[in-house]
Amino acid sequence: MHYNLCEFQIRSTVMKYFAFAFVLCLATLSNEMLAQEPTPTPTPAKREDKSPHKSEFVTVNGVKLNYLDWGGSGEAVFGRRLCLE
C-alpha cells in the first residue's frame, strides 16, 4: 500500500492526538486514585469470655502461670496453651 505524504501526515497527527488523549486519561485516573482516602482496615472485634470461671496466677519454679478455675469437684483437668501477652 502506498501513501502519499499528506495521508501519512494526517494519520500521524491523528495517532499523536489519540496518544495524547490516552496519556491524559491515564494521568487523570491515576491522580484521582491517589487522591482517594485509603480504605480503613477493620479492627477485629474483642472476644468476650462469658464462661463462669475465675482467673488466678500461681508461681512455679520462678515462672508465673495463669490458670482458670471453674470450680466443681472431681479430678482436675489440665490443658496446655501458650498465650503471650
pLDDT digit string (tens) for the chain, length 85 residues = 555 656 666 677 778 888 888 888 778 877 666 666 777 788 888 888 788 888 888 888 898 888 888 887 877 776 666 655 5
User: What is the pLDDT at residue 60?
Assistant: 86
User: What is the pLDDT at residue 35?
Assistant: 67
Residue-wise pLDDT for 23-42, tens only, equals: 887 788 776 666 667 777 88
User: What is the pLDDT at residue 69?
Assistant: 83
Q: How far is CA 18 from CA 1, 21, 30, 55, in A?
A: 23, 5, 18, 71
Contact 56, 67 (CB under 8 A): yes
User: What is the pLDDT at residue 81?
Assistant: 65
